Every structure is written in C-alpha cells, then in structure tokens.
Amino acid sequence: MPHLIVVGLSHHTAPVDVRERVALAPDAYPDALARVRALAEVRECAVLSTCNRSELYALTDSYHGGKDALEGALRAFEGAGAAIRDEHLFRHEGPAAVRHLFRVATSLDAMVVGEPQVLGQVKEAYRAALEQGALGPVLDRLFQRALEVGKRVRTETDIGAYAVSVSYAAVELARKIFGPLEGRAALIVGAGETGELTLKHLKAAGVGDVWVANRTRAAAEDLALALGGRAIGLESIEGALGAVDIVVSQTGAHEPVLRKETVERAMKGRRGRPLFLIDIAVPRDVEAACGQVYNVFVYDIDDLGRVVAGNRERRAEEAEKALAIVQQETGRFTEWFEGLEAVPTIVALRQRFEAVRVAETERAMGRLSHLNERDRKLVAQFGETLVHRLLHGPTSQLKHVAPGERGAEMAGALRYLFRLDDQESGPRPPDGAAPTHERGAPTGSAAQDPDPPTGGDAT
C-alpha cells in the first residue's frame, strides 16, 4: 500500500528567517515540482508555499524512504540546507496528512484563523501540480476534496465573519456607522504601517477619495501615490475634516494632533454628517474630548483591541464547527484511500475465477460439439453470470469493510484461501485434464473492473 505523506515547516515550527529561505513564488512551482517528481520514492506530488508555510505532499512507496526524500528536497529549495533543523519540520502520514491539508484549506492552521486568502493559495498549488502532471488519482482527489471542504466551511460557518485584526476591526466599525462605504472619503494622518493597512482595507471596502497628511511632505506624497490619493500638510487637516468621513491617525506625536475645538469647527461645516475618528497611535493622536462632539465617533487602540478580542472568541466558536467538518471529511477521504487496498484483491479474485470459468467452458464446449451457435452462447453466458453472482457478495463485503485492520484481515484470508499470491497456481481442471488457455490470464471486462455494474454496488 502506498503512503500519503506531507513534510513541511510553518509559523508553528520555524521562525521567519527560516521560512523565507524556502518560500516559493507561484512561478517557481514548476521547477520545484519537477525536482520532487524526480525522486525515486515519489509517485505523485504537490507543492504548497506561502509566507507562513512551505509544504511538500507526496504519494510514496514507503514512509521512511519517502519522508527522507521529501525532507532532502525541502532543504534543497533556494539552498536552505543547514538553516532547516529537524525541529523546524513537521511530518504527517495517512489520515494525519489528510487532516492537515483540510485544516490548511479551511484556515484552521493559519496564523489568523479564518483568513480567506489561504483557500486561494491551496487552489493555486493544485492548479500548478495539475498543469505539471505531478498529480495522480490520490493527490488529485485529495486536493479537490480540500477545496470543497474549504468552501463548505465558509458556507456552513461564520469563521471568516468577524474581524480579528485592528485594521479589519476599524473597517467593521466604519460599516456600523455609515453602512456601505462606497463613495466615502478617508484621511490618513501619519504614515504608520497599521494606519496604512487600515486605509488599504477601507479602500478595498469601497472608500473613494483618499487624503494623506504627514509631517514630512515627501512621505505623504509617496503614500498618496501608492493609494491613489492626494497629499496635504498637517496644517491642512482642519480643512480636510470638512470633506472626509473617516480619519485614521497614527503619527507618533507626543501631543494630540486633533483637539476638541478643531473638530467642533470642522463639524459646523458638515451639516450634521457623522465623522469617524480611528486613533491607533500611542500616545493618542485624538483628544478624548473629541468624542463629546455631536455625531463624532472616536475609537482608540484599546477600543479596537476589545472588538478584536470579542471577535476572536466568536471565531474560536466557529472554528469548533469547522473542525467538526474537517474531522468528518478526513474520515470520508481516509475510508476511500484505505479502500484502495481492497482493489488488488478483488481484481485478483475475479481473475482467478475468470480463468477457471474460461478453462471449464472450453472443456465443456469440447464435449458439446453438437450444440448450435445460439446454445453455445447460452452456455458461455451461464458461466459468466454464475461467476458474477458467486463473487458479488464477497467483493461487496470486502469493499465495505476494507478500511482498517478488519479489511486487511479479510483481504488476507481471501488471498490465502484462493491462493491469489501463488504465481504457480492456476485453474486445476478435474480428472487431470489440462487447461486449454494460458494459465491465470485474465480475460474479458472482469480483468479491468473489480466489480462490474451488473447489479453490484458502486465504489
């Protein structure tokens, strides 16, 4: 039985300076897949690489040989070599490997549980392996199921519905105040990384005009150019407050940049339109008293932190639902994969019975030379039907219990009772008569299909 293995490293096991040594861009997948496919132990393979993980999936002839080969291939990526230590790597086999990929596809294994990007990254890995011909029936089915499980979790749970970062929380709060953000204008004060990321999320949510104010005009212009907005100086903030709806401030100043009197003057020209101030600076950029002004909504970093904490608890509850789906789907795939072990036994059993049928039919036909062509066909059809009816029950039962130890025992018993592993044994006609066909040679459709669909169960 081949072995399904994943070897890799992630944010759970390796620091970023190690992860970046083996990270692969999508355009590097073809070369990586070619190198893994060339390994003697590997039958099928796929590569998945993101900023937080690099993983090799493979169907191999043995566990230890396959694991060692994959570890060597991973260390060879970008010359990582000795930078990867044993404790940086994880290895999973069989059901654990299936469960791992399903957890990745559903974002349960992500740095931020519920992030939507990871399912697209799994899809890209599948597409690349498919295009390079690196997949076979097992990994092709595994990655297809992973994508379906990821979609099922998105449909049946709210794992991605709650913001769990400060920048996403700010967008969520803005929607509560304004509803749809299409056509709204935003101002970023300062060029901090979190403020910039918040504004990018606001843009993605539909915000239109963007203003950038910074103490250094050049920095403001660079950020405005990147965001498709306009740059202004800090002295022009009060004028901008009359035009924008959302302000994100992160300057690092020791005194508030926005004071109550400034906001009050700006609100007189807004004719009652609400203003949302997101203060993610420490010390704070927005004077606390600004929140006392009518229709001005102020949230600081602690407010956003409380929103994030509450949402993480909600995501944790949804993650439990997602995990139950992953466990269920892991069991289904594992049952299918382990059931493949029964196929060679079913095929061998049918070949043995078919060989006996052919030998005995030919022997009988030699004694029934007086029959016409129609009657001879009836005799042949009788033999085919008899073999199918005799084997339908045992083969259906074998497929039904194939996964696990009991299935292996049943398959072993059948192989022993019917001497399926004895290359020298074949159909033994009674009375010492010699068979008139090549011993053990499969004939007809039974050699191709382990359970022909004549009233039998589908696999």
Q: Is 51 a catalytic residue?
A: yes
Q: Copy the structure tokens of residue 361.
A: 């039919």
Three-class SS state of 296:
strand
By three-state DSSP, how is residue 115 classified? coil
CA 80 – CA 58 distance, rounded (Å)? 20
d(C-alpha 355, C-alpha 377), whole Å: 18
Q: 3-state DSSP call for residue 7? A: strand
| Contact yes or no for 157/318 (Cβ under 8 A) | yes
CA–CA gap between residue 167 and residue 296 (Å, rounded): 20
Select which of 34, 51, 368, 378 is catalytic.
51
Edge to edge, what strands does the sheet with 3-10 contain? Answer: 42-50, 53-60, 3-10, 90-93
| Token output for 416 | 């022993």
Cα separation, 145 vs 367, whole angstroms = 55
Among residues 260, 220, 255, 254, which one has the least CA distance to residue 236? 220
Which alpha helices (H) appear in 157-298, and where do they start and end?
A: 166-178, 193-204, 217-227, 237-241, 260-268
Residue 386 tokens, joined: 């008899």
Within 10 angstroms of residue 271's Cβ, the number of other Cβ atoms is 7
Residues identified as active-site = 51
